[in-house]
Chain A
Amino acid sequence: MALLEVKELKTYYYTLRGVVKAVDNVSFSLERGEVLGIAGESGCGKSTLAWALLGLVPPPGRIAGGRIVLDGIELTKLSEHDLRKKVRWKKVSMIFQGAMNALTPVFTIEDQLAEPLMIHKGMHKNEAREKIAQMLKAVGLDETIMKRYPHELSGGQKQRVIIAMALLLNPDLVIADEPTTALDVIVQAQIMNLFKQIKKKYNIGMIFITHDLSLIAEIADKVAIMYAGKIVEIGSSDQVFGNPRHPYTQGLLRSIPRIRSKEKITWIPGVPPDLVRPPPGCRFFPRCKYVKEQCRKEEPKLKEVEPGHFVACHLYG
């Protein structure tokens, strides 16, 4: 059985302007030891998807349908109390966007890291201290950092503390939402190396969310491309990068400048649609160069174009 099974998940924001369908009928599964990369432009619903997995969609949003099954437990059926006691941080932890600001400035690193251990595991502070020291070492930090306050650490060190915090309770699933956006290139490469080591060492599932396809290629085994609240292409990373089928994926890959190639980069004209009133049919058709009559009327379903490689596009099938 898969570690995580998401079926037809819908997460909508009920605003005064109308219903924003931020995540609309998204399905995927994830095995233990696998990294799923989710890529898409800003506003495509990738962060909302992450919040939905933790049951933390900010109001006026909520999960409007579908199922999330983690390790046999149906998260969508749990009460808020059970979610907090049994799931969050114990089973699913998250590395939030802008993790630089995720630490409290008024507590030392030790106090902050001890909290989840004391509350969830009922550990005494001294036991917790030992566990924290181990974890800090695992993410490449020195023990002495325990007594420091967040403002005494550099950006990269803070990010490592956040990663240590996410791994503290040995969760089954770690969600990382744009974990390196605020970091410099060199620090980013160091943090990506840390993620690779974690992937090797701990047998956990990981969801890596970013707008940067190059970073996804660095870590993900499986890639899902999101556009306007839907997954338009999903497959192994060799399939998606080596043989992209959806016009949006192709466009995205052609828009990335590469350091050693002078190949001309192109762009996708137009802007993503308003999710209150998405276009009928395929949501990408106003920007697509292969658009045909069918695309304006009928919504394409995800179809398997090769084993394990699904594309939602009328060009195929």
Chain B
Amino acid sequence: MPPIRVRGMTEPVVKVRDLMKYFPLRRGLKEIITMKPKRFVRAVDGISFDMYIGEVFCLVGESGCGKTTTGRLITRLLEPTGGHIYYKPTREVASQIPEKCFVEDGYVDLAQKLPKHADKLLRREIQIVFQDPFGSLDPRMKVYDILKEPLIVHKIGGSEEERREIIYRALSEVKLVPPEQFMNRYPHMLSGGQRQRVAFARAMILKPTVVVADEPVSMLDVSIRAEILQLMLDLQANRDLAYLFITHDLAVASYLCTKIAVMYLGKIVEMGPTDEVINNPQHPYTKALIAAVPEPDPKNRFKIREVPIKGEVPSAAAIPPGCRFHPRCPYAMDRCSKEEPPTLEVKPGHYVSCWLHVRK
């Protein structure tokens, strides 16, 4: 028997360690002939974090910072270049996985090659909801078939009736009621909010432990965003679930999430409990991000907003040496352009990578 341990709230369900993903750049003929070294886009460049059941862990950052790539690595839609994704499977799944897959303490390293059937079981446990509900549902499939597909793939429910029952329950859970009314519709017959509900039903139908939500509300109208955010919380309240929430919107992050990690050019620059990061930001980049968030207060129109940093994010193919934020940082010192800053714990659970916080 493999070592089965009951998964507690005190242990992380996912431990990401030094995760990396480099995308090779196409080389021109001249570069190939002159044997120039291969160049890479370092989309995710060594990040580490823990996720717990019952938590909403948030990755925030500007476009191109690697947050979506991280989500795709964890759902294993992409193969990592390096690093580890330790995942602790449920008891049911753990008992079906050969012992050699476990690394330690009941964790499986998803970044390693796994036997086929174990791989499939583990994929069931980590699901994803995409940003665009108009593009992520097949326009030629009815809602019923969209929800049935994962059941067929993972051989859940023996008979058609049983599957119908499961689909019914999934639809009522995302509050598409009565389910009979929605089952036979095609995606184009649904509103954006309803489509995103179908996308959540599809992710939840396999009873996953981890759900990656990649900007699930950014394509929706403001008036219905709250509806989907509330749905996410309701779904989590009834089950053992950890969310990885990916967004560029700090206001949404601070509303929904329990922990925030701020990413910049493939690195996590600051990470901690939401209140800590929002009210007591330590990294100059986090401070700038928070200062830039517009608020619905008409008094703002009389004042110019202080945005302490200049310029825009450089390309991930040419990452600056040293601290990758130093060309835009108002506090940049000599050291910043030479050495990469270490990650320090400034308060329990609050981590920052910045030379400003290193005592001389």
Interface of A with B (CB < 8 Å)?
A: 35, 41-42, 154-157, 184-190, 192-193, 196-197, 211-221, 237-238, 241-242, 251-253, 255-260, 262, 265-269, 271
| Contact, CB under 8 Å: B252 / A237 | no
In the complex, A197 Cα to B305 Cα: how many Å? 11
Could you list some 24 contacts between A and B, CB below 8 A? A42-B221, A154-B312, A184-B63, A184-B312, A184-B313, A185-B292, A186-B62, A186-B307, A189-B291, A190-B307, A193-B304, A193-B307, A196-B301, A214-B294, A215-B294, A217-B294, A218-B294, A220-B301, A252-B222, A255-B225, A257-B225, A257-B226, A258-B296, A260-B279
B250 nearest CB neighbor, chain A only:
A259
* Contact status B298-A241, CB under 8 Å: yes
B191 interfacial contact with A, CB 8 Å? yes
Cβ of B82 to closest chain A Cβ, rounded Å: 28
Is the contact region of chain B dominated by helix, strand, or loop, or is it mixed?
helix
Cβ-based interface call for B193 (8 A): yes
Nearest to A248 among chain B residues (CB) is: B223
The residue from A241, A242, A256 contacting B222, defined by CB atoms under 8 A apart = A256
A257/B298 in contact, CB under 8 A: no
B223 contacts which of A188, A193, A217, A268 (Cβ < 8 Å)?
A268
Complex contact B222–A255 (CB within 8 A):
yes
Question: Is the pair A212, B294 in contact by a Cβ cutoff of 8 Å?
Answer: yes
On chain A, the residues within 8 Å of B226 by CB distance are 255, 257, 265-267
Q: Cβ of B159: which chain A residues have Cβ within 8 Å of it?
A: none
B300 interface residue, CB < 8 Å from A? yes
B contact residues around A269 at 8 Å (CB): 227
Q: Is the CB of B296 within 8 A of A253?
A: yes
Q: In angstroms, how far is the closest chain A Cβ from the Cβ of B144?
A: 22
A276 CB, nearest partner CB in chain B, Å: 16
Cβ contact within 8 Å between A267 and B227: yes
How close is A41's CB to chain B, nearest CB, in angstroms?
4
Taking a contact as CB atoms under 8 Å apart, the answer to whether B296 and A213 are in contact is yes
Q: Interface majority SS on A: helix, strand, loop or mixed?
A: helix
**Quick check: B295 and A258 within 8 Å, CB to CB?**
yes
Asked whether B142 is an interface residue with its Cβ less than 8 Å from the other chain, the reply is no
Q: Is the CB of A186 within 8 A of B289?
A: yes
Nearest Cβ on chain A to B125's Cβ, whole angstroms: 30
How far is the CB of A120 from the nearest CB of chain B, in Å? Answer: 31
User: Which of A187, A196, A255, A260 is B312 in contact with, Cβ under 8 Å?
Assistant: A187
Find chain B residues with CB under 8 A from A185 CB: 62, 248-250, 289, 292-293
Give Cα A73–Cα B294 distance, bound, in whole angstroms.
37
Q: Closest A-chain residue to B60, C-beta based?
A: A185
Contact flags B213-241 to A (C-beta < 8 A → 1, else 0): 00000000111111101100000000000
Interface residues of B in 305-321 (CB under 8 A from A): 305, 307, 309, 312-313
- Given A217-B301, A265-B229, 10 more pairs with CB closer than 8 A: A184-B313, A186-B288, A189-B291, A211-B222, A220-B301, A241-B296, A256-B296, A257-B254, A267-B226, A267-B230
Q: How far is the CB of B232 from chain A (nearest CB, A)?
A: 13
Distance (Å) between the CB of B229 and the closest chain A CB? Answer: 8
Counting residue pairs across A and B whose Cβ atoms lie within 8 Å, the total is: 130
B301 in contact with A237 (CB, 8 Å): yes
Q: Which of B193, B249, B279, B295 has the most CB of A within 10 A?
A: B295
Judge whether B290 is part of the interface by a CB distance below 8 angstroms: yes
Distance A215 CA – B300 CA, assembled complex (angstroms): 10
Q: Is B278 an interface residue (CB 8 A)?
A: yes
Given the contacts A155-B312, A186-B288, A196 and B63 also touching, CB distance less than 8 Å: no
Q: Tell me whether B295 and A259 are in contact (CB under 8 A).
A: yes
Most interface-central of A156, A186, A267 (chain B CB within 10 A): A186
A192 and B294 contacting across the interface, CB-CB below 8 Å: yes
Cβ–Cβ contact B251 & A259, under 8 A: yes
Residue among B62, B191, B255, B279 making CB contact with A265, cutoff 8 Å: B255
Least CB distance from A145 to B in Å reads: 14
B289 surroundings in chain A (CB, below 8 A)? 185-186
Q: Please, which residue of chain A has its CB at the minimum distance from the CB of B223?
A: A268
Task: Give the chain A neighbours of B334 by CB distance below 8 A.
Answer: none
Contact (Cβ within 8 A) B296 A214: yes
Chain B 267-305 near chain A by CB (<8 Å), digits 1 or 0: 000000000001100000000111111111110110011
A187 to B223, CA, bound (A): 25
A309–chain B nearest beta-carbon distance, Å = 13
| Cross-interface CB contact of B298 among A157, A186, A190, A217, cutoff 8 Å | A217
What CA separation (Å) do A223 and B236 show in the bound complex?
38
User: A259 contacts B290, CB within 8 Å?
Assistant: yes
